Amino acid sequence: MGSGTHLVIPSLDRVPLEHHFHAGEHAATRLAQALLEMNVADTRDWQRVRRDPTDYVQATLNRWIDLHGGKAIRRRFCLRLTLSEVIDEYLDAGESDPDGQRLYLFLHPDSAAFVVAGPTLELLGQEHPRLPASFYRLFTGALNRWVRTYDHTDAEDHVAMLREWAEGEDEEYEIADVAAAVPVHLKQKPLGLRTLRRIEARARGEAVKALLAAALELERISALVPRPEVTDEMREQLMDTNSPLPAALVVFAENDLVEAQFEDESQTWGEASSEPNLILPLSAFDLASIRSAFRTLAAVCRTLAAASRLIDLMPGNEKWVSDWEEGHASTSGNRS
């Protein structure tokens, strides 16, 4: 019998609904394969990102960070990890790396973690007069090993520059005396690590004991892996950038002179590109290079997570908490 007149609707079964074209992403594609070979990447992410190599690498980085303290990091820090063929976004990747093998992981802060140190220093000073300076050196030193930390030393440098600018001017300027606002305990000579461990073991108060134990642990984790050196090629790309933006602001009290200098300096930080806090170079075709970069990244994550847990123990910092959720942040607990 005749079928009659009717319309036939074509079927799209087993036909790809979209195609992806990746121009200039050869290195990222090779990195995705290498991470899978190294058992760093998870095969389940491949389908979730719809077989996009760049998104697959990003998903792997997010998973890696979460495995090495991501939740604790996001509680206090607002940082952005970027994978790129160049450090400077205005540079042509083909000119700097014609083979398309080199990649960079670099760390930028979106805002600065806010840390009030005054109450902690007062508490430690009651246990031992040299404990505040020792604790402060451990805390800021461990952080500065990996990310820029703005504190009273930066504020003093800023006011020194202002005084230099004001010299010879007819008009008089009121310039803050940051040095006079530094607690007297910080002018003591810091104790050595061995002495600090002895004091921590016999400390009378549980709060002091916990603070010292966390600070010593932070120092240990921070020093496990050496920071990668900046190569000549990297310096060439950084020629037109400003100093790194602070990832943490350490003050003695809210709205003190240190914070005032930070706010004053921050007015000009958006005028030009800033150097990343950390740059990890790697070759997408060299497994040893990739392993080294991810080993360093793990150390950085553990350091930031340990710093976040230490800040949680420091009195006066209960409200300075970020509410990041799955990579998105509200920076109400930080200083932009």
Burial of 201 (0-12, 13-18, 19+ CB in 10 A): exposed
The answer to whether 134 touches 191, Cβ cutoff 8 Å, is: yes
Q: Residue 226: which pLDDT band, with cuts at 50, 70 and 90?
A: very high
Q: Residue 14: which pLDDT band, with cuts at 50, 70 and 90?
A: low
Q: For the whole model, what pTM was predicted?
A: 0.85
Q: Token digits for 152?
A: 């009273």
What CA–CA distances, in Å, run from 67 to 56, 99, 109, 216, 301? 16, 32, 20, 22, 9
Give the orientation angle of helix 53-67 with respect to helix 287-313, to 10 degrees: 40
| pLDDT score, position 331 | 31
Q: Token digits for 93?
A: 């990747």
Lowest mean pLDDT among 58-72, 273-287, 311-325: 311-325
| Mean of the per-residue pLDDT values of the chain | 86
Query: What DSSP string runs through 63-118?
Result: HHHHHTTHHHHHHH-EEEEEEES-SSTTS-HHHH-TTS-EEEEEEEEEEEEEEE-H
Cα 28 to Cα 84: distance, rounded to the nearest angstrom: 8
Is the pLDDT assigned to residue 55 strictly greater than 60?
yes
The answer to whether 233 touches 96, Cβ cutoff 8 Å, is: yes
Q: Where are the domains of the chain?
A: 110-275+312-335
The answer to whether 132 touches 186, Cβ cutoff 8 Å, is: yes
Is the pLDDT assigned to residue 305 strictly greater than 70?
yes
Is the pLDDT assigned to residue 276 strictly greater than 80?
yes
Other beta carbons within 10 Å of 174:
5
**DSSP E strands, the chain:** 78-84, 102-116, 149-150, 248-251, 278-283, 334-335
Cα 322 to Cα 324: distance, rounded to the nearest angstrom: 6
Q: Which of 310, 329, 286, 304 is nearest to 65 (CA)?
A: 304
| pLDDT score, position 323 | 62
What CA–CA distances, in Å, run from 287 to 30, 38, 47, 55, 124? 11, 8, 24, 20, 46
| pLDDT score, position 15 | 55
The answer to whether 123 touches 101, Cβ cutoff 8 Å, is: no
189-210: pLDDT as tens digits: 999 999 999 999 999 899 999 9
10: left (phi over 0), alpha (psi -120 to 50) or beta: beta
